[in-house]
Amino acid sequence: MQTTYTFFTDKYKITPSQYSNGGESLTITFTPILYSAFVPPSNFSTEACVPFGDVSPTSPSAPLGSDVCVNYQADCSVGGIPGGGDCDTLLYTLLESYDLPPNLPAIGGPDFLVVHGSGCPTSGTATAQSIFTDYFVTRIDPTTKGSGRGTGSCFEVTYTPTASPIAGAGASLSRFVGWGSPIVDSALNMVKAGSTRPLSFQLFDLLGNPVTNFNWCATTDGTGCTAPWVNLSYFFVNCQSDVASNTDTDISSPGNSGFQNLGGGNYQMNWQTQKSWKGGCANVEATFDNGLNLIPADLGFKFN
């Protein structure tokens, strides 16, 4: 269940994956840090943290109204044991809205970094991953969205001072676009067991340009793979009842099985299903070398 919280006047949401085993507790700790004292991770050395307009004048960490950034530390526990139990199965999405201070009216190249296995604030020797999935701009507040897994992670909202703005006022940009039609991510997609189901997608970089050179990786941890890479892995789930069904996917599509680069940043994975899956349900997780993990289809696929 998605839950909305408030920090000062900023809103943030935590959405757990329905495929976690259950019983996990996710604790979010806010760590204010002066904008001038922020030390970027070693592999994102040009990044600066985003100060929050409504936090800077009131935070005890803001002498004389200095600009203050906020790091989010996510810790998982099971039965009161940090990192215990099934924390490694806890996949969640953090959606955060924040006010920009008057001296930072626009952000150039926004990002959302996570340092796994680290508390906040992180050090200059830390290695971060970019997990930015969506960036939205309303009249006042930008919103940044990213996903994480497990425990002991520090999220940092940052931007690149020398980069051009990624989106103007009122605009929005999603880094990941998929799955393509006829799949409906909000519905249970019907698939004939044993047929081939194409999964199409795009991924954009921080400046809104499509990434055109992804390599297929057979593992989720990148072993033996050349970056940039992508892995698509299926897993079986319990079938959801009393949900909207999409029958447009209940056809067998011709074409070679496996991963295809269609050019221009367009990719397709022809997923070969098995006849033995009839009556069951599964879903597909996309993993990228930059640390991005997504399960685009909320309800997945049912085989008939």
Sequence spans of domains, the chain: 3-174, 176-303
Q: CATH 1.20.81: does it fit domain 176-303? A: no
Count CA atoms within 13 Å of residue 246 on its CB side.
17
Q: Would you say the C-alpha torsion 28, 8, 4, 202 has a positive or negative sign?
A: negative
| % of the chain residues with pLDDT over 70 | 80
pLDDT tens column, 86-125: 777 777 777 777 777 777 766 776 778 888 888 899 888 9
Mean pLDDT (the chain, rounded): 82
Residue 200 and residue 180 in contact, taking contact as beta carbons nearer than 8 Å: yes
* Banded pLDDT at 230 (limits 50, 70, 90): very high
pLDDT, tens digit (0-9, with 9 covering 90-100), for 187-213: 999 999 999 999 999 998 766 788 999
* pTM of the complete model: 0.72
**Measured at the alpha carbon of residue 152, what is the angle toward residues 221 and 234, in degrees to the nearest 5?**
35
Give the SS3 label for residue 249: helix
Is 60 exceeded by the pLDDT of residue 180?
Answer: yes
Pick the range with the lowest mean pLDDT from 6-15, 50-59, 63-72, 156-165.
6-15
Higher pLDDT, 300 or 290: 300
Task: Using pLDDT thresholds of 50, 70 and 90, give the confidence band for residue 140.
Answer: low
